[in-house]
Amino acid sequence: MSDHAKDEPPNNDETRAIPRAGGVSDSEQGRSRARRSPAVDWRAVKDQFVGVLAGAVRWVGLIFAVLLVLHVVFTLADANPDNSIVDFVTNTAPSLTLGFENMFTFDERNTEVLVNFGIAALLWLVISSVGASIIRRLGGAQV
């Protein structure tokens, strides 16, 4: 064997158990790291939050639009006003029109409801879509 090979420390488990400069061996450090909880990927958390928030905005806009469309359908079909669903939609829809409830006046009430509430429903879809896109862009998520 050469003198060089004698100078190198043997590469086995015994040498790894020798404490390092801080008094902690490599194996103890490895166990300590394993006991710690994994690091949180805050970027992924932020991206997930932004995605959920944007999705919620889209869903709210969709629900409002559906309520307005249901009001139009119930009005055109002359639905029973004593029905609890019809009553709920009829009482809720006017507050969702964003000022479009009486924008256009027609001789026939059905046409007036169709046009005004239909415009409001479309506007909710546009508002929620644009709002969700803005939230995603400000949050740095992919659009």
pLDDT at 42: 85
pLDDT tens per residue across span 59-105: 999 999 999 999 999 999 999 999 999 999 999 999 999 998 889 99
Kindly report the backbone phi and psi dihedral angles of residue 18, in degrees, each rounded to the nearest multiple of 5, phi listed first: -70, 125
pLDDT at 10: 57
How long a stretch of residues is the chain? Answer: 143
Alpha-carbon gap, residue 93 to 102, rounded angstroms: 13
Beta carbons within 8 Å of 19's beta carbon, 6+ residues apart: 25
Cα 124–chain centre separation: 18
pLDDT at 93: 95
Extents of the domains making up the chain:
3-35, 42-139
H or E stretch at 82: none
This prediction has a pTM of 0.68
CB of 23 closer than 8 Å to CB of 14: no
Instruction: Please state which of the ranges 32-41, 54-63, 68-77, 102-111 shows the lowest mean pLDDT.
Output: 32-41
